[in-house]
Amino acid sequence: MSEQVKCLIIGSGPAGYTAAIYAARANMKPVLYQGSQPGGQLTTTNEVENFPGYPEGVTGPEMMIQLQDQAKRFDTDIRNGWVTKVDFSGPVHKVWIHDDTEIHCETVIISTGASAKYLGLESEQKYLQLGGGVSACAVCDGFFYRNQEVVIVGAGDSACEEAHYLSKLCTKVTMLVRRDEFRASKIMAARVAKTENIEILFNTETEEVLGDGQVVTGVRVRNNRTHTVHDIPATGFFVAIGHEPNTAIFKDFLNMDETGYIKNTPGTSKTNVAGVFVSGDAADHVYRQAITAAGTGCMAALDAERYLAAFEG
Ligand code: NDP
């Protein structure tokens, strides 16, 4: 016998927990599966200073525990485990946990988020884990590097946008572009090129993130044409080489863009499948903030509630 669930929430970032708080308070008895990274991307962030309601700031992991506690307070059934398969082809939405436990859902809220891509260098991962100066979000962490020198890697629209954002806070931004041209739109690339305190190094790749064992002190780079190597002093290393939405398990059923972001009906959280809703970064490659994810989590719960109410008359 498979379990019957009124509202299943997949994912435990700000979108998932906010959806849970709203769904639980609307008596939808939500069940939330936390996924492989309980708490989501914010658990890899140090300090969150831009989420309204925390005048002193809060650490990412602490904020996620508070959101979880708030969801629990209204009796959300929060479970460890992750969804490995779905079938949205019929009137009942089927979801499998670890390939074996089958759940039948009246509504599903997808809040599986996206993962920032990293270079994969050992030194990069070391300082990322230490919270010592490696970041994939300039809007989140740029403020900590004001009046300092930073390096950013990437050449797409995100990298250009983030480099420009950082240039307003930092004394110098060095941008590492691995080819001899940008991938970004002409207008974004031009804006970066004419910003005085941004230096662009083309044909340049990261060899190593340098540090003192605790924090980043510089970046060793190599020109891939001349093979010359040199060190750039920096206290922050920003990686802006793209994100990957965690949506692969839904691809046979939901409309997505070419990168895998789920398409929603504009102004709502509705997907192309009735009763399946999406919130947070799984559908958002533009804003990607905790507060916008929370906002769309709220929308998804309200949309799910209205969907159920239409059936119940
Ligand atoms: P993109 O995939 O567009 O760009 C990724 C960039 O990272 C590329 O320049 C790529 O280099 C570089 N890169 C990838 N791997 C490495 C590596 N190992 N070392 C060095 N560089 C690497 O991702 P974005 O996040 O920039 O953008 C995603 C989408 O979102 C795009 O469609 C973009 O247009 C859109 N967007 C729009 C914005 C806006 O309109 N305001 C703002 C932000 C994003 P290479 O070019 O050599 O492959």
Q: What is the pLDDT of residues 156-215, one digit of tens each?
A: 998 999 999 999 999 999 999 999 999 999 999 999 999 999 999 999 999 999 999 999
Instruction: Clarify whether 281 is annotated catalytic.
Output: no
Percent of the chain with pLDDT over 90: 87
- Calpha distance 75→69 (Å, rounded): 10
pLDDT-derived band at 313, boundaries 50, 70, 90 = low
Determine which one of 7, 105, 141, 298 is catalytic: 141
Determine which one of 7, 140, 160, 298 is catalytic: 140
CA 206–ligand 1 middle distance (angstroms): 16
**Statement: residue 140 has pLDDT above 90:** no
Which residues, other chains included, contact 241 with Cβ-Cβ below 8 Å and sequence gap of 6+? 117, 118, 119, 153, 154, 156, 159
164 pocket-lining for ligand 1 (C-beta < 6 Å): no
Q: Cα separations (Å) of 135 from 86, 236, 280?
A: 33, 8, 20
CA 65–ligand 1 middle distance (angstroms): 32
Q: Which helix (H) or strand (E) holds 32?
A: strand 31-33
pLDDT-derived band at 47, boundaries 50, 70, 90 = confident
Identical fold for domains 3-115+243-312 and 118-239, yes or no, is yes
Instruction: Clarify whether 170 is annotated catalytic.
Output: no
**Statement: residue 42 has pLDDT above 90:** no
Cα-Cα-Cα-Cα torsion 308, 309, 312, 313, nearest 10 degrees, comes to -150
**Statement: residue 4 has pLDDT above 70:** yes
Instruction: Clarify whether 141 is annotated catalytic.
Output: yes
- Calpha distance 226→168 (Å, rounded): 32
pLDDT value for 3: 95
Average pLDDT score over residue span 129-146:
92
pLDDT in tens, 62-91: 999 999 999 999 999 999 999 999 999 999
**Statement: residue 147 has pLDDT above 90:** yes
154 pocket-lining for ligand 1 (C-beta < 6 Å): yes
With 0.75 as the threshold, say if the pTM is over it. yes
114 pocket-lining for ligand 1 (C-beta < 6 Å): no
How do 134-135 and 149-153 pair as beta strands?
A: unpaired
CA 68–ligand 1 middle distance (angstroms): 33
pLDDT value for 125: 96
Mean pLDDT, the chain, whole residue set: 95
Strand partners, 236: 150
Does the domain spanning 118-239 belong to CATH 3.50.50.60? yes
CATH class given for the domain over 3-115+243-312: alpha beta
Average pLDDT score over residue span 233-259:
96
pLDDT value for 39: 87
Nearest CA to ligand 1 atom 2: 242
Highest mean pLDDT among 42-51, 58-67, 244-253: 244-253
**Statement: residue 45 has pLDDT above 80:** no
Mutate to test the pocket of ligand 1, among 115, 151, 158, 243 (most ligand atoms within 8 A of CB): 158
pLDDT in tens, 220-230: 999 999 999 99
Q: Cα separations (Å) of 71 from 9, 59, 214, 297?
A: 12, 19, 35, 12
CA 181–ligand 1 middle distance (angstroms): 12
159 pocket-lining for ligand 1 (C-beta < 6 Å): yes
124 pocket-lining for ligand 1 (C-beta < 6 Å): no
CA 142–ligand 1 middle distance (angstroms): 19
How do 83-87 and 198-201 pair as beta strands?
A: unpaired
- Backbone phi, psi, residue 52, to 5°: -55, 145
Domain range summary for the chain, segments of one domain joined by +: 3-115+243-312, 118-239
Average pLDDT score over residue span 287-306:
96
Determine which one of 7, 137, 170, 298 is catalytic: 137
pLDDT-derived band at 21, boundaries 50, 70, 90 = very high
163 pocket-lining for ligand 1 (C-beta < 6 Å): no
CA 133–ligand 1 middle distance (angstroms): 21
